[in-house]
Amino acid sequence: MAFYLLTDAACDLDRAFVEKQENFYVFPMNYSINGKEYEFTSYDGSPALKLLYDQMRDGAVPTTAQINLNDYLDVFTRLVQEGHEVLYLCFSSGLSGTYQTAVLARSMVMEKNPDARLYVVDTLCAAAGQGLLIYFALQQRDNGMDAATLADWVTDNRQHLMHWFTVDKLDYLYRGGRVSRSTALMGDMLRIKPVMNVNFEGKLVAQDKVAGRKRSLKAMAERYEQTADRSRWNTVAIAHGDCEEDAEYLCEKVRQINPDVQILRLRVGAIIGSHTGPGIMTLFFWSNQPR
């Protein structure tokens, strides 16, 4: 039987990559905006993602929903009853209750299938940082690592996956409760661009405050230069929220540091983008030191 690797739509891997993988499944997640609900699995080139960002620019405030318990139960049960190994690498528990729901679903499935090889791991990652960890995990699986061993590998190594990002407007982070209203108003007025990361608990933390967009992108590239472990994994992920020119600028900065780097160019999808807004720029890479 096969080894199935599962994740969720918060990973921001694009549809073309997802469809090339064998025994791989991405749980869809839902978002709502202007009174309508939509399902998002991965960016497929359709105009729906740009429409979301344009609606946010016009003042609309989207919301997102966790994956339903029954959705987990349906997929977990079907796969283990078919005799497959299953490993679900989940969106950070520091940003969502998704992981707790998945753990509950696993316990319910294991009660009825005590010999199942079903594992759920909190990646403590988000967006294309989660996606990059999945990218590495798929390579480990395809090189022969079994589900239990890979679950341990992810748990032992997830802190080395660095997440750096900046946003164009702090107002979107204020709406999501990530910064105070006064910080958002003052920051946007003074053109302050926070450079943030995801810490060891999988939560968003501001690290630097710089004036101007280009400086914030340069600061992210400098973090890569200072801490990236290029000998271990020479692949980075750069994802943007409807700001292609900024993404190209950041790619060039990273290539100047490391001409041999492999860059996964991705979009910040609807689930993460609903909370960060258009203009988010992200950089993810393997670090020589844990968060």
63 three-class SS: strand
| pLDDT tens profile 16-43 | 999 999 999 999 999 999 999 999 999 9
State pTM to two decimals.
0.93
| pLDDT tens profile 162-182 | 999 998 776 776 665 555 554
Question: How many other C-beta atoms can be found within 10 angstroms of the C-beta atom of residue 165?
Answer: 27
pLDDT per residue as tens, the chain (291 positions) = 899 999 999 999 999 999 999 999 999 999 999 999 999 999 999 999 999 999 999 999 999 999 999 999 999 999 999 999 999 999 999 999 999 999 999 999 999 999 999 999 999 999 999 999 999 999 999 999 999 999 999 999 999 999 999 987 767 766 655 555 545 544 554 466 778 889 989 887 777 778 788 999 999 999 999 999 999 899 999 999 999 999 999 999 999 999 999 999 999 999 999 999 999 999 999 999 999
Closest CA to 120 of 161, 148, 157: 148
Query: Would you say how long the chain is, in residues?
Result: 291
| CA separation for the pair 229, 288 (Å, rounded) | 5
**Domain 160-286: assigned CATH number:** 3.30.1180.10
Please check whether residue 52 is in contact with residue 62, taking contact to mean a CB–CB distance below 8 angstroms. Answer: yes
| Domain positions in the chain | 3-158, 160-286
Closest CA to 124 of 152, 99, 101, 149: 99
- For the 3-158 domain, the top CATH level (class) is alpha beta
